[in-house]
Structure 1
């Protein structure tokens, strides 16, 4: 197998194991690789997919949800989550995942077809199965949360604090929904960039320009607030230093009077 120290090499090793049906070993290889390269989002997406393929839907769900929380524009993770939600019987979440992809890329035929199936009631049987044993699903979800947190803690101790970034999830179409998705996840600057590109394509769209102006004004206000807070801290430090000097002089004067 390829050297484990090289980025992406462990993913190739894991793929070979998956192709051979050795899912347990593939999961172990991915987990060990992510301890060395915790920022490889593509490896985490692959780990979620292997969990799903091996039948561990709860772990697959948690792993993939961690990815989209950190990288909201990773549509590969949304695509796999749609399948996981469907198999878990969570139709509402599956529909939402499909719609997120279609808002960014309305021409995605696979997601359009899957959305039609979901809205047509294709997941009713799975939903009924989940309703019969809700305690099992909750227990599996809790165990999955604990396992993933442990994996992430191990990754942080081995390779620094966990920080996920997008690694090229494919071509994405600019849209208002994509911009708002960025903003809702805390990526305000990325959202603003999307709005600016949309405004360049539609210069007569007043709503886009108003949104850009509103976001820009919010950034200015936030910057001003930060500057005021910084100035306040500086003023407080100056006052404390001045008080310490006065106290020092007072101590000297008192000492002279005693002598």
Structure 2
């Protein structure tokens, strides 16, 4: 049986996401801010604010968290945030002599605020639909949220990237339940909007490392689940044997 979809919660989430996107990107609301970090991250605050308010109003328990289903938060921090920060800032230092830690961190936080909404809330609320339809709806709402409605080749390509991203990032969300992981994958597009040899190398290293870690993790989790099932089967068999002995020889007990 598929989960029930709370359409009113989704509408509430999306109205807030769109409203804040318009206010922070299409008006002069942020013109008075001199802090570049805040100017960047506030432009992505809509999906996070919409998701949090919808969860509170409709008593929805979030499925994703920063740590996800990792044993501790250190691993996803180092793997999904530490790696790109180290590679990008290192490359910038050796090629340009600058260390853009604040900019890189701002882009990751930007992706995190978006992903709280897209994967952390919307994807979970659409679980009652077939997977492909969920991907298509998330990608479409994500595209419209950018408030760029010009019919151009680049926009059509961008929509295609969002469909692919909604599928891929969605898989990572289902596998790790970690907002840090999905935020890092989301941020790759913002990091590498314009590619060169160095950026392509960093992109490949990050994706390769993350894919390998996810494959290894999936295998490890399967082994743990199999071991758990085998232990449960063993306990059930011993329990049945004990009951049988009790029935045959009640005096012994």
Q: Do they superpose with TM above 0.5?
A: no
TM-score, normalised relative to structure 1: 0.37
TM-score, normalised relative to structure 2: 0.38
Higher relative contact order (CA 8 A, sep 6+): 2
- The structure number with the bigger radius of gyration is 1
